[in-house]
Amino acid sequence: MTNSVNEASKTEIEQANTRSRIALPDGAAVPRIGQGTWNIGEDASRRSEEVEALRLGVGLGMNLIDTAEMYGEGRSETLVGEAMQGIRDKVFLVSKVYPHNAGLKRIVKSCEDSLNRLRTDCLDLYLLHWRGSVPLEETVEGMERLVQQGKIARWGVSNFDTDDMEELFRLARGTHCVTNQVLYHLGSRGIEFDLLPWQRERQMPLMAYSPLAQAGALRKGLVQNEAVREIAAAHGASPLQVLLAWCIREGDVIAIPKAASREHVLQNAAAALIDLSEEELRLLDKAFPEPVRKMPLDII
């Protein structure tokens, strides 16, 4: 294989993404890098490009696709449904329910609406998008009913901090939760103080959204950092690929960067080829130190 990440073949990229999978608590295997769909499906002129990008990502081993009923008020799910035509059996499909729809009176209808938009009869994973006013016990009951009805295979949560997870796990069936999806990237490491260790103790993988940070000053500061740029050059990669490789470095974090174009999909997928050395990780720790105290959970 070439030493340059961005000169690797599609076959090499696919192999890198398929040989190293992450096991959920129930044994289901998912890729370290998946595909996020926030803001996808909202521009009709880009529809064909976005559908093609998602399908390419699946072919490159990034077969986890994450969406939500909130994204474009269903437009993202509709586009994902189109992209999955003919390849549904290859996709690990994730969607999320609004907090106000997570009670027993609404969760079944909300899930069914998502399934209709996605043109499928079962979600591989259904997440509570964030915590709202509905009691956790009621949401857990709703999730368990959906599993029993065959509408979802498993469930999890999103934007839960450590105290939320502890409360969830005190419920009789709260331990059936298989993952927690939160914001996590090199410039936002607060979860490493308590939440990430808490999940690791329970062998629960974490899903990281916005692993490349949102476009703006923060991302600019990350990609222009001297250590990040030096490491990228050493691997024949881009700074963004280094950020993604850092996020999945421990083998128990599932990163879901947005995938909206062929170029971005190829770059995201190729990040799986980067194996950061101990010295490179030390350089990144020095530039962006790990937390030394409890930090508020970052949420977008």
235 is an annotated ligand-binding site residue: no
Q: Is 71 a catalytic residue?
A: yes
Q: Which two tokens stand for residue 179?
A: 């993952």
Question: Following DSSP, what letter does each residue of the chain receive, concatenated?
Answer: --S-GGG--HHHHHHHHHHSEEE-TTS-EEESB-EE-TTTTS-GGGHHHHHHHHHHHHHTT--EEE--TTGGGGHHHHHHHHHTTTTGGG-EEEEEE-GGG-STTTHHHHHHHHHHHHT-S-BSEEEE-S--SS-HHHHHHHHHHHHHTTSBS-EEEES--HHHHHHHHTSTTGGG---EEEE-BTTB-GGGTTHHHHHHHTT--EEEESTT--TTHHHHHHHT-HHHHHHHHHHT--HHHHHHHHHTTTSSEEEE-B--SHHHHHHHHHGGG----HHHHHHHHHHSPPPSS--PPP--
Spacing of C-alpha 79 from chain mean position: 18
Q: Which two tokens stand for residue 93?
A: 């499909």
23, amino acid identity? A
**Is residue 223 packed enough to be buried (19+ CB in 10 Å), middle (13-18) or exposed (0-12)?**
middle
Please enumerate, by residue number, every residue annotated as part of a binding site for substrate.
129
Please enumerate, by residue number, every residue annotated as part of a binding site.
129
Q: Which residues are catalytic?
A: 71
